[in-house]
Every structure is written in structure tokens, then in C-alpha cells.
Chain A
Amino acid sequence: MWRKPGNSISRIDVNLKTRWYTLTITLILVLGLALLSGCAKKEEVEKPKKEGPVKGGTFIHPLYADPTSLDPPHVQESEGYRVAVMIFDGLVDYDPKTLEVKAELAEKWEVSDDATVWTFKIKKGVKFHNGKEVKAEDFKKCWERACAKETASEVAYILAPIKGYDEMQEGKAKELSGVKVIDDYTLKVTLKYPFPEFLKTLGHPVASVYPVEEAEKAVKEKKVWETPVGTGPFKFVSWKHKQEVVLERNPDYWDKEPYLDKIRFRVFADENTAFLEYKAGKLHDAMIPTGQYKTTKADPKLGPQVITGPELALYYYGFNMEKGIFADDKNLRLAIIYGTNKRAIVDTVMGGIPAPATGIVPRGVPGFKPDQVDWDYDIDKAKDFYSKSSKPSEITLTYNTSEGHQKIAEAAQAGYKEAGLNVKLVNIEWGTYLDRLAKGEYPFYRLGWIADYPSMDNFLYPLFHSSEKGNNNFCFYENKEVDKLLEDARKETNAGKRQEIYAEAERKILEDAPLVPIYFYSYARVVQPEVKNYKWNGMGLVNFDEIWLSK
């Protein structure tokens, strides 16, 4: 049974009290928020107020995942790479603009005529952040640690051309037989085979130098080395997992001292959040989230802050050339190739940021040849090739589970449908996907390839040499002629001639149509106006050591 609560007098009493409560709570909330906003504003990026190159300031840069490691043999993804190259130096580095190799800790080098023996003179007086001087022996120890079986490095393969690598990986040797210390400042490296591009591989963090004893001690005690010490322009300060990595200027840097006092790498789990933080002035640069490129470019404030350029990476759909419906059916492969609407994928799904692929080696890689193939979307050609093929009633495209890959696959599927091709989409989670891909279980699949180092070899040899079948060559592609060209290129010491050989190999591979190159990656970022001399290169690296902040 219902009964009215209280009499009228007490109700007024309650109402008055309620109002007071409400008012008090509102006041507390408003005051609290005002106080908090004061705290929040302190976080804003520091803006020094001078013209021209000026020292000082903290650069706040977003990372889109916590680095898996900052220990050189375990630096394996772009986020960790970007931080590591500021802490560590190697014998050589890449020019931020051209991506050509330039000397870093190597004073000079000599190479034998057959490109198998490399002798490096190391700069004298270079010191680690802990004050110890860098000697040739340090390089040898670091490389040996990377190649050792116990280290189980994810990126040791970069050093695979060095003689003795296999023995180290198998645990049969404790030293790299191909690396000899001649004196404190001379290092002689012998390779298993002639490899003129060897120099380029040495720009990777896995080949950088650090006091190996510090790393070994940390790994022994704590399983991981999370207080890295190198010779780089910035010194490690702190790493709060999934939050931020902080580096500070190395005042004793052997080269030109950086302008920035500090770099704060803030970790984000979502690119949209980072973009909002950028808009609020809490980040100095950020990636433009997929789908927001056009609106950002058109925005009167953000538009002028947009920068774009090529990244050394290829997105492609591959065919299995050894088994399945595509193996002996070039017409079917060509039907798919002409039925792939690259332009629609780039424009509608990718917001116009990347460029439709015109070959395997992306633009930006030294030696890149434009228009290796002219495989534009052509419904008539697709239909024609399909009619000449074995005409399977259904084709399955497999890709690893991800919203982005799904959108691309759906756009491709729509294009195939118009060309009369019935393509079914199947997505599989990454772990399983990679495993089954290596076993050659997918006749038609998605993959991407991001350069380990800026070289044509890195795009052609691992993906198409027959010795890499089931390893990186997931097309299971084999062509003796191509194998020979790729091997010959590795022996050619003249850069120009070498690039010609690679270009020819690329053409030959494309003639066999083992893949649909879809697009070459591009970056699209925004950079605050007070950031000067900012360069983002095709390897996804930033020249933090040359940037300054002004206003």
C-alpha cells in the first residue's frame, strides 16, 4: 500500500535542504574543476620564444604502442626503433633526407673488390653515456651478443651475411669468426658472400654499439635491459611502461649537440586520442588518423601543419605459385590483377594518403623505377583473362583480422564483383595466419612489407628468391633466372649497375604475376608551427637531434 511520505511542512524542509546540498556540491565541483584545469594546463608543451635555432624545450612525440624493447638485439618494431636510434649509434646511419648511407661512428671504411671483406676505422674519443670510450672490441661483443643463440634476437637476421653467423645461431660458436679486431680502432668484417649493400644493413639498431656488460648484467638480474646506455645524441632517463619514455640531451655528444633538452615519447593506444591531444596543443606532432586526412588538410588551422611523403613499404595481395588454383593459371592471376581497383582502395579506404603501387620496390628506395607495371583497374581485361582461365566458381582471399585490412578487402571485393569475379573473404587472427601462410595454405592472401633498411635488395631477395620460400617468400615463387639476377646483384659493387640488375629482376618477377602490388605507403602527419627543421623519413624515423622549438 502506498502512503505519501511526510507532511507538507517537512517536504518544504527537505526541499530547502536539498537545494542547499545541490548548491554546495555544484560549488565544490566547479572549484575542483577549476583547480584541476590549472594542473592540466601545466602539462602543455613548452614553447621557447626566440627566433632561429635555439636550445631548450621538451619535444613531446606520440608512440602508438609501448616499445617491445630498447635493447638493440630486440628492437623490432618502428616505435622502439624510433626511440633506440636516439640513444644508440652504429658505424653508419641514413641521411634523413635521401636515406643514403652516411658515416656515424665509422671514420672511414674500405671494401675488397668482391665486397666480402669490410674494414672500418672507428672514430677516436667517442664515449658511451657512462663515460667509457668506444673501441672496436665493443662492436664485436655487441654483434656477438645479437647473434648468440641464448639471446634469441628477433632481428639478428640483419647480421646474417657475416661469416660465422650460422654457427652462433646454432650455438656451436661463441665468437663471430667473420669479425676481427685489428686494433682498438679498426674492425675487419668478412662476409659469407659478396654483399655490397652490407653497409646499409649496419644502420639498423641491431648493429649499434653499447657497453655489452651493462646489458648482460641487467638481463641476468632482471631478464630485460630497460636502462639503455649508448653513444647517441640523447641519454635515457626513464621508461614507464605503456605511459612514456623520456630521453635528455647528451651534453658530451661526439657530434653536434642537439637543441632539445628532452624528448618525451608518450604512449597512446588509440591514434584518435593522440590526434585530439595534438589539437589541444599537448603534442608537437602526430599521425593523422585514417579517414581524417582530407578534413585535416581542408581545416584552415591544421591544413598548413600537414606534412606527407613516401614511406618505404608495400601493401600487396600474393598468390601461391606452388599449389592451389592460382599456381598454374596465369590468366586467373591476371584476371585478379586487372580486377583489383587500387585507385578505389587508396581513395575511399585510405583517404587518398598512399599511392597506388606501380611495382614491388616503393618510391623513396634508392634506385626506385617508376611504372614497372601498368596494372590499372580494367574490367574488360579482367573478364577476358577470366574467360581464358580455369574459371573457378569461387576464389577466397585470406587476410589477418583487422578492421583496416577488412575495409581494403571489401573494397577490393566490390571491384572484383564488377569484373565478374566472385571473391569470398576470410579473416584469420595474426598468430594462426602467419603460421598457415608459412605452410603455403592460402592460395590468395594479404601481406605488407616494410623496409628493414633502404635497399632494393630488401624488397626483392627476401620476397622472391627461391631460398626464402616459406620464410619470407610466401608466394612460393621460384624462377631460376630471377634467382641468378638477385645473386648477381649482390655481387655487383657498382651501385648504379646493381640497381639496374635489381630493376630487371623486378620486371621479370612482375612478368610472372605472382602478386598484386596494391599501394606504396605514405605518411601523413601534423607538426606544430613552432617545431623547426622537422624531418620524418621513409623509415618512420624523426631527426630529433636536429629539431628546435621556437616561437
Chain B
Amino acid sequence: MARFIIKRLSQFLPVIIGITFITFMLLYLVPGDPARIVAGRNATPEMLKAIRHDLGLDLPWYQQYFNYLWKLIHGDFGNSYRFRRPVIDILLDDAPKTARLAFMAIVIETIIGILAGVISAVKKYSFWDTLITLAALAGTSIPIYWLGIMLQYFFGLKLGLLPISGYGGFSYMILPSIALASSSTALVALMTRSSFLEVYQQDFVTTARAKGLPERRVIFVHVLRNAMIPVITVIGLDLASLMGGAILTETVFSWPGIGSTIFQAILMRDVPVVLGGTLFLAIVFVVINFIVDIFYALFDPRIRLEA
């Protein structure tokens, strides 16, 4: 286990450096002058020069890149070209908000998804199975944007039960997290169902029953635990991508998360924000994958964490 952790951590650094390099080069090679975007259309040539100098854009690319890395080592992510704020402040502002929403969505998709999947598998070909499968189909095919607007319209405007948009306490999280979780919940339910049915037919399940174990114990301890591996993968990857911010959900619900920040930064060629944001997401992905691997071992003792 310790060797496993050390090995994974040693892979971490090259991944991060590689990501900064690729992102930096992509942004550098794409035509377009960030100073122009910062200065806007009305900029005079002197202003452009002043802004380019201010942002360090008048240096050769390798110097710009190494300056960036050097600052990064010292914990300085640079300042946004557009907002002039330190990138770290922007990320620290946005990331917890995205995390709240992502966490809520994961809770919804895990509880409802797995529960629905199990019901659907246990009651195979019943009314409930058909209903759940149909709902799952709808969940995966309804666009988040549309679902978001419908939720806002009915629960916010017509019934006046929940806030339409904005950032705030628990009540503000309900509608956006439902919209965000909709397609993943469906996926988790379908995944659980098929995985569950596969495990359900295996010999050890028959053995468990033969030993006289109650059905609930057979389902939740023996079958479900073994059926969880693919489901954990889906949920883990989903958490990682949700941490990247759900641009559509954030836009519709005016949720001030990281997704819309990075998206806007890409459009406005705000290089430090894009680099910082990408780096942040890379770290999130690596860490979550790492946690998912540990979870595999917890759920299935046959999997060993080896270096």
C-alpha cells in the first residue's frame, strides 16, 4: 500500500509539468494577442505596448514559460490578464462552490442511481423495472440546459418553492444539483442494474442463499458489493468531471463556479487563468483516480494495491 502511494505520487509531478507545458504551448501557438483582448478595440499602439510589457508578453516563449514555472514553484499562479486578480484567489473563490454542487450531485446520483439500479435488477421485467429504465432513458437524453430551465420555471417561478438562481444555502443547491445529476443518475442506475444482474447469477450468491442468509443480506452485502466496481469507476470519473464545473448548469443557475471561469478565460485568452484552472483540474483528476483505486481494493479484496 505504501509503495503504491509513493509510486502514484512520483507519477504526479511529470503529469503536472506535462500539462502546464502542453497548455502553455497551445495557448501560445494559437494566433491572437492577449494584450489586444485586454486592451479592447480602442487601444492605442502605446497602450498595447504598455500592457504587453505589464503582462510579460514581450518576452520569448521559453522565458515566459520558465517564469511561469518558477513562480508556480513559489506558489504564485500569476494574475488574471483580464481581472488583474491573482489566479489563486479566483480558483480558491470558485473551487469550493463548484465542489459543493459536485458533491450534492454525486450524493444524488449515488443514492438514487444505485437504489434505482438495485430495484430495477431485483424486480427485473416488472412495472418498476420498466419505469426506472424509461426514466433512465429520459435522464440521459434530456439536455441539462432544458431541464434546468424547466426546473426553474416550475419550482421557482410557478410554485415559488425554490430560488430560481444564484448562490446561497441549501435551498439554492437543490435545482442545479438535480439538473446536474440527471444524466449521471441514469447512467449509474443502468450500470448498477447490469452489473448487479451479472453478479446475481454467480455461484457464490447461490452458496450464500444455501447457507440460509436473509435475502436482504445476500443483495446488499454479497451481490451489491461485488457489483460496485464498474459503478465506482463511473461515479469517480463523474466526480472528477463535475469538479471541472458544469458550464451549462453554472450558466443557467448563475452559480459562480470554476467551469464558467475557465470557459470565459479560454475565450478571452486569459492565459494565467486557463493555465491555473487546467492545473487545478489535472490535480483533481489525479487525486480522484487515486482515491477510486483505493476504493476498488476496499470493495473487492481480490484487488491488491501493488506498485
Contact = CB atoms under 8 A, between A and B. Distances in A.
Interface string A161-192: 00000100111000000000000000000000
Contact of B46 (A6, A170, A272, A273): A170
Contact of A431 (B85, B253, B256, B268): B268
Contacts of A434: 32-33, 36-37, 41
Contact of A224 (B51, B85, B215, B252): B85
B267 A429 contact: yes
A435 B149 contact: no
A471 B45 contact: yes
B162 A36 contact: yes
B47 A431 contact: no
A435 B156 contact: no
Interface string B258-290: 001100000111000000000000000000000
Contacts of B215: 5-6, 10
A103 to B, nearest CB: 26
A37 B41 CA distance: 46
A472 B165 contact: no
Contacts of B250: 269
Given A154-B40, A223-B86, A273-B254, A431 B34 contact: yes
A408 B233 CA distance: 45
Interface string B193-222: 000000001000010010000010001000
A154 B38 contact: yes
A269 B245 CA distance: 14
Contacts of A170: 46
Interface string B60-101: 000000000000000000010011111000100110000000
A68 B161 contact: no
Contacts of A149: 50, 53
B209 A243 contact: no
A33 B161 contact: yes
A157 B44 contact: yes
Interface string A437-450: 01000000000000
B127 interface: no
B46 A268 contact: no
A242 B256 contact: yes
- The interface size bin for chain B is 35 or more
A19 interface: no
Contacts, number: 163
B222 to A, nearest CB: 13
Contacts of B230: none
Contacts of B53: 149, 152
B162 A37 contact: yes
Q: Choose among A224, A226, A269, A436 the residue with the greatest number of B CB atoms under 10 Å from its CB.
A: A269
B31 A432 contact: yes
Interface stretch (A120-128, A245-253, A276-284): A276-284
A152 B50 contact: yes
A1 interface: yes
B209 A3 contact: yes
B157 interface: yes
Contacts of B47: 152-154, 156-157, 169
Contacts of B152: 273, 276
B30 interface: yes
B162 A277 contact: no
B160 A435 contact: no
Contacts of B51: 152, 154
A334 interface: no
A462 interface: yes
Contacts of B4: none
Interface string A15-45: 0000000000000000001101101110100
A170 B51 CA distance: 11
Interface string A182-215: 0000000000000000000000000000000000
B251 interface: yes
B41 A436 contact: no
A61 to B, nearest CB: 14
A282 B37 contact: no
Given A170-B46, A429-B267, A435-B31, A279 B36 contact: no
Contacts of B31: 432, 435-436
B79 A282 contact: no
Contact of A273 (B83, B84, B170, B252): B252
B169 interface: yes
A431 B93 CA distance: 26
B19 interface: no
B82 A68 contact: yes
Given A169-B47, A273-B152, A472-B42, A279 B157 contact: yes
Given A169-B50, A430-B268, A435-B31, A160 B162 contact: no
Interface string A453-483: 0000000001000000001100000000000
Contacts of A33: 161-162
A40 B171 contact: yes
A224 B167 contact: no
6 contacts: A36-B171, A40-B163, A169-B47, A223-B86, A242-B260, A433-B32
Given A223-B85, A268-B254, 16 more contacts: A3-B206, A6-B215, A40-B163, A40-B171, A41-B160, A68-B83, A149-B50, A266-B254, A270-B254, A273-B152, A273-B252, A276-B164, A431-B30, A431-B33, A434-B41, A438-B36
Closest 6 CB pairs of A and B: A431-B32, A242-B256, A152-B54, A432-B32, A36-B171, A169-B46
